Amino acid sequence: MEHRLKRLLTPPFIILAAFVLWFWEWLWGPLEHFMAMIGRWPMLRLVEARISSAPRYLALVCFVIPGAVLLPFKVIGLYFIAHGAAFLGIGTFLAAKVVGTALVARIFSLTKPQLMEITWFARAYAAVARFRNYVFAALHQHPVYQRTRTTLLALRQRLKGVRRGLFSHSMRRWRAVYRLSRRRGRLTCI
C-alpha cells in the first residue's frame, strides 16, 4: 500500500518541483539582469550604491525587506483564491512572486559580500546551496523530470518561434505602412 501511494504521488510532486526549478533556473538570471538595467537609472544608481556599501547587518535588513513587504500581497492572492477569484488570486500571487524574486536577486547580488561576513548567514547559505544542488542532481536523474524538462524546452522553442514570427510580421507591416506613407507624402497611420 505504501509503495503504491508513493508511486502515485511522486510524479505530480516531481512535475511541481520541475516547474519550481524551471522558475528558479530560467527566471533568476534574466530577472537579475532586468533589475540591473533598471538599476542604471540615476536615482536607483544612488540607492544601489548605498545598499552595496551598507554594513553587514543593514545589508541583511535590505535583503529581508522585499520578502516582508511583498508577503501581504501573496496573502491577498491566497485570499482571492479562497473567495472564488482564482485568476485574480493567482495573478496577484505570481506578480508578487516575480517582483519579489527580481528584487531579492538584485539585492542579493549587491549585498552578497556583506552577507557572507555574517557567520550564521554564510553557513545557512552554504547549507541551502548544498541542498539545492542535491535536489537538482536527484531531480535531473528522474525520468518524469527529464520528460517535463524536454516538454518545457520544446514549448520555449515554440514560443520563441512564435515571438520571432510576430516580430517579423510586425516589421513587414511597418515597412508597408512606411512605404505607403512615403508614396502619399504623409504618415498614413495617424
Residue 169's contacts (CB-CB under 8 Å, 6 or more residues apart) are none
Confirm whether pTM is higher than 0.75: no
Using alpha carbons only, give the angle 56, 63, 21 rounded to the nearest 5 degrees.
130
Return the half-sphere exposure (C-beta side, CA atoms, 13 A cut-off) of residue 39.
19
Domain ranges for the chain, please list them. Answer: 2-141
Which residues of the chain form beta strands (DSSP E)? none
Output phi, psi for 39, to 5 deg: -65, -10
Write out the three cell numbers for 142.
Answer: 528522474
**Range of lowest pLDDT (11-25, 35-49, 130-144):** 11-25
Looking at residue 113, its pLDDT comes to: 92
**pLDDT interval class at 158 (50, 70, 90):** confident
Q: What's the pLDDT tens digit per position in 98-141?
A: 888 788 888 888 899 999 999 999 999 999 888 878 877 877 78
